[in-house]
């Protein structure tokens, strides 16, 4: 059985003139949301043991907040340059190349590819937009990552559900 937790990076800070897009950090709301959602994820049955992240500062920061909350060793946080400015097809291909010894993965990335990837795998819900720090988890009966197709949706959570 395989599970994939897709996480869009938390809210970023646009207030730094001169920074390139890849270098934008999280803003205060982004940090707060990431800590809240990471803590919630620790209560779930299928917790990722490998985290794949875009090299963007906002994605890496979000991934490491989740790694600390989930008590995942930094060696299991893998920064993959191909995730930044990727397409859902490229993300899907990246996932199909994972070793079969890995069962639970979290992917930290960006829209629109994150939302499109969720729609690629979902049979029960259409995702108009996965908001910043949104978490979507899918599960497959598959034992091999190369056979990923549509999947069972375990949950879709996002910050506004916790900040009401």
Q: What pLDDT is stored for residue 44 in this prediction?
A: 92
pLDDT-wise least confident of 5-9, 56-60, 142-146, 151-155: 142-146
Q: What pLDDT is stored for residue 15 in this prediction?
A: 82
Residues sharing a CB contact under 8 Å with residue 26, sequence separation 6 or more, in sequence order: 9, 10, 11, 12, 13, 34, 57, 58, 61, 62
Q: What pLDDT is stored for residue 111 in this prediction?
A: 98
Q: Does the pLDDT of residue 139 top 80, yes or no?
A: yes
pLDDT digits (tens, 9 = 90+) for 22-73: 999 999 999 999 999 999 999 998 889 999 999 999 999 999 999 999 999 9
**Structural domains of the chain ordered from first start:** 2-11+22-161 (3.40.50.1240)
Q: Is 31 helix (H, G, I), strand (E, B) or coil?
A: helix
Q: Does the pLDDT of residue 164 top 70, yes or no?
A: no
CB 87 within 8 A of CB 116: yes
Portion of the chain with pLDDT greater than 90, in percent: 90
Portion of the chain with pLDDT greater than 70, in percent: 99
Q: What pLDDT is stored for residue 18 in this prediction?
A: 86
Q: Does the pLDDT of residue 3 top 80, yes or no?
A: yes
Strand-pair partners of 51: 77, 106
Q: What would you report as the CA-atom Rg of the chain, rounded to the nearest whole angstrom?
A: 15
Q: What pLDDT is stored for residue 45 in this prediction?
A: 86
């Amino acid at each position: 059985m395989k599970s994939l937790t897709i996480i869009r990076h938390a809210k970023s800070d646009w207030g730094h003139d001169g920074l390139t897009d890849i270098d934008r950090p999280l803003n205060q709301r982004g940090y707060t949301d990431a800590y809240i959602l990471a803590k919630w994820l620790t209560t779930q049955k299928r917790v990722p043991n490998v985290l794949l992240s875009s090299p963007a500062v906002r994605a890496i920061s979000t991934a490491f907040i989740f790694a600390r909350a989930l008590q995942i060793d930094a060696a299991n946080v893998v920064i993959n340059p191909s995730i930044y400015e990727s397409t859902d097809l490229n993300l899907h291909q990246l996932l199909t190349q994972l070793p079969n010894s890995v069962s639970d993965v979290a992917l930290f990335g960006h829209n629109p590819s994150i939302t499109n990837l969720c729609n690629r795998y979902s049979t029960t819900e259409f995702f108009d937009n996965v908001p910043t720090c949104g978490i979507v988890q899918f599960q497959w009966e598959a034992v091999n990552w190369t056979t990923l197709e549509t999947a069972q949706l375990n949950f879709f959570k996002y910050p506004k559900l916790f900040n009401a």
